[in-house]
Structure 1
Amino acid sequence: MLYLKSKEKTCAFTGHRTDKLYGSDLSNTKYQMLAKLLRKQIITLIEVNNVDTFISGGATGFDTISFFTVESLKNKYSYINNILAIPFEEQSSTWNNYDKLRYERMLGKANEVIYVDKLDLYNKSKNKKYTYAYKYQKRNEFMVDVSSYIIACFDGSKSGTLNCLNYAKEKKNKIYLINPKSIQ
């Protein structure tokens, strides 16, 4: 893990997929407003807290918005690292073609791609019975474990995002929340 040097300078993102946000069209106004809010928070972390490493899970929705928002800031902050923590290689196998193409762009632009299910600490058993939900949870735990900051897009519902936030609270990460319902 080349770019994961300092937990104190690392921020991870967690949030809902497109079905719990504003639909599949990431160019719509609400996603643009979400990206604008996110951009401000990321800049604050860079300029005030010296954060230089950002980790996204690579899924559709908030993960994608987060990844490309960080990527857009590389022109101004050339030293920042944009890392993907992928739960398992087949993550995009059920996605539509457009989301798969966007995902391929993310994989190509990332400073580093980490397949969490290949890490011994997060895959104690090679047993195939472990579900995708288990692998997503382990991916979330990995991102929390290597970060001091979490930016979450969370509407309060029971979800993988809630599980990730509960784990982050347990680990005493600093959490910044964006409620997607507040974006009009």
Structure 2
Amino acid sequence: MMKTVMSNEKVAFTGHRSIPFATINVLRQRISDCVENLYLSGKTEYLCGMALGFDLLCAEVVLSLKKRFPDIRLICVLPYRAQSEMWNAMQRARHSLILDKADEVIVLSEEYFHGCFLRRNDYMLKICSTVVAYYDGKLQGGTYYTFKKARENRLRLINLYSS
């Protein structure tokens, strides 16, 4: 496939932590199709906040696409260094594996502080042109905040959520 040469604008992911188990494979395919289309339009850099759920699923998809698109880049943006410290062992191992395979890891704070997750989301919104979301429309939480801010900033929004 031929990639359209355009300026490299970054893509950020935002989405809910909870994804119904029965929909994970369908969602994974939607993410893959979406990222492939964005890549073919010239977008090679993908920002991931590394939260459980949608974020980690997106990171894994980007890494899996490296086989076909070697110049695709995963940039992990951690709100604070020990983000996964309270997760279970399997979740921490998954997080660590993704960080090890990422092209770049940006740590915004050494320590946790109230508001660090929103700061991470604001950082990603400031440097991206497109947001791929998994947003259910509820007016609360970090995904709502990020989706709303992306809309206010007139960023391109792609919502992969379907009820």
Tell me the TM-score normalised to structure 2 length: 0.90
Distance 1:102 1:17 in 2: 15
Question: Could you tell me which residue of structure 2 aligns to residue 152 of structure 1?
Answer: 133
CA contact (8 A) 1:8 1:148 kept: no
CA contact (8 A) 1:7 1:147 kept: no
Amino acid at match of 1:46: Y
Q: Which residue of 2 aligns with 1:31?
A: 24
The correspondence of residues 1-184 of structure 1 with structure 2, limited to 5 A, is 8-18=8-18, 21-22=19-20, 28-48=21-41, 50-117=42-109, 130-131=113-114, 134-157=115-138, 158-179=140-161, 181-182=162-163
Letter in 2 for 1:172: R
The CA deviation string for residues 33-80 of structure 1, in whole angstroms up to 9 with x for no partner, is 1010111111111112x0010011111100000000011101111011
What is the identity, as a one-letter code, of the residue corresponding to 2:34? Q
CA distance in 2, matches of 1:104, 1:7: 31
Q: Distance in 1 between matches of 2:160 and 2:112?
A: 34
What's the offset of the Cα at 1:130? 3.6
What's the counterpart of residue 3 of structure 2? none
Matched residues, number: 157
CA apart distance, 1:165: 1.0
Shift of 1:90: 1.8
Give the CA deviation at 1:156. 1.2
Tell me how far apart the structure 1 counterparts of residues 112 and 31 of structure 2 sit (CA, whole Å): 37
TM norm structure 1: 0.80
How large is the Cα RMSD of the aligned pairs? 1.8
2:80 and 2:112 in contact (8 A); partners too: no
State the AA in 2 paired with 1:38.
I
1:72-111 deviation per Cα after TM superposition (whole angstroms, max 9, x unaligned): 1011110111110000012111101100000110110010
Unaligned runs of 5+ in 2: 1-5
Give the structure with the larger helix fraction. 1
Change (3 A) 1:52 1:106: same
Cα pair distance change 1:146/1:129, threshold 3 Å: closer
Residues 107-116 or 163-172, more deviating: 163-172
